[in-house]
Amino acid sequence: MSAPTTPKEQGQKKHDRTHWLYMSVIVAVFAGILVGWLAPGVGKSVGVLGTMFISLIKMMISPVIFCTIVLGIGSVKAAASVGKVGGIALAYFVSMSTVALGIGLVVGNIIQPGSGLDISAHASAGEKYAETAHGAGGTMEFLQSIIPTSLLSSLTAGSVLQTLFVALLVGFGIQALGKTGEPILRGIGSIQKLVFRILSMILWLAPIGAFGAIANVVGQTGLNAVVQLGTLMLAFYLTCAIFVFGVLGLILKWVSGFSIFRLVRYLAREYLLIVATSSSESALPRLIAKMEHLGVQRTTVGVVVPTGYSFNLDGTAIYLTMASIFIADAMGQPLALAEQFSLLAFMIIASKGAAGVSGAGLATLAGGLQSHRPELLDGVGLIVGIDRFMSEARAVTNFSGNAVATVLVGTWTKTIDNAQVKAVLAGKLPFDEELMVDDHLPEDKAPAEKKELVSA
């Protein structure tokens, strides 16, 4: 009888398919640079391709945010019902997401990778959005604009804040229905799968959009745009590394006494899988199994890991803030400090559910800019060319944050076996790759070898 397909093998099959998209985007970026540099006129003329791709992404913003927020609130309820574990996990998630967003803002303001690029001429369509957004003047008018004409119009009017408002109402309404609302939640979950399937189809047009956007920008600014984009990418990678090994590493050592480097080594295969698929979700089943094998109780793992995949998106948070600052600076319309904090608050809510879904981070970025500075929306086309390069760092950082969170919550709730953690991280109790899952047998039925290693 043939052995069942493991998640690793499934991930490799997924890699085989998306590998061509990844390579196509790289080729398109270089082609766009060459066209914009050698034939500036042609580069400017194909800029419409980037604009059309962003229009397709913009089309998906409201459905993505609606589904993820509604299902996210359902996850909060599920997590909170577990009691202490859920409450501590959620408090930690919100805190660390805020810290990650703050780090992204600080680094973005210090490095200012988009400063001096000035591609404001690229934002022709932005004027229309600006007129729509800033037509009403006062605070009361702004608050009034959040309330849609009808429940469904929020999904068609193009207002992200209206979509967010209705999603919150629907989410809490489903919560209030209790078990009666579960079929509705499952239905929205099915709709979310359809939405993300459409989004993944649109992403196959990313090479065309990247080519048009890069060719247009290079045609207008020269090779300076390439240098600025490279600076943003390197700054993002460096920031993610500092966050994982600095911030998360220090917290893990201080709270649990374990080394982040040993934890990363233990999860090495999962990191390779994530880099291959550009999605942290591809390693979700393995993370659950490995955290249980590490010594964290199954109930704690079952609450923290799935909820963390919706609410603990550290890499996505850093990406959203740094990319927003880059776009604003590159278009010669930098965000004021108050606008940055307002955008930060929006991203904390809107980014939930973006982990593991290719393209959801791009849609969330577009949604944040549209809700705060619509005239900057066209600048998202700049990010398309390097988004695939940055997605690996996003996914790896998100995954690391959830692995660390599981150990921390297990420590705080005393639902972790420290002796087993030490044995596993020291290599004395290797993870069974053949079975992939850890059955957590009762101690009286556990193998003698396991008992000896854990007690050693």
Task: For 324-362, write each residue's pLDDT tens digit.
Answer: 888 888 777 777 777 777 777 777 666 654 544 455 666
Model pTM score: 0.64
Architecture per CATH, domain 83-161+223-455, reads as Orthogonal Bundle (1.10)
Given this model, what pLDDT does residue 16 score?
45
Q: Which residue has the tokens 């008018």?
A: 141
Domain boundaries, the chain: 83-161+223-455
Task: Give the pLDDT score at 456.
Answer: 45
- pLDDT for 75 equals 60
C-alpha radius of gyration, the chain, whole number = 23
Contact 287, 403 (CB under 8 A): yes
Q: Return the pLDDT at 263.
A: 93
Contacts of 284 (CB under 8 A, 6+ apart): 305, 306, 309, 356
Q: Which of the residues in the chain have pLDDT under 70?
A: 1-19, 22, 54, 72, 74-83, 113-143, 158-161, 221, 224-225, 273, 276-279, 281-282, 310, 348-363, 384-385, 388-389, 433-456
Give ∠ CA 118-124-125 in degrees, rounded to 5. Answer: 130
pLDDT value of residue 247:
93
Say what the pLDDT of residue 155 is: 77
Contacts of 74 (CB under 8 A, 6+ apart): 171, 174, 175, 185
Residues 237 and 271: their CA atoms lie apart, in Å, by 15
- Tens digit of pLDDT for each residue in 208-224? 887 887 787 777 767 76
In this prediction, residue 408 carries a pLDDT of 94
Of 258, 282, 357, 367, nearest to 313 by C-alpha is 357
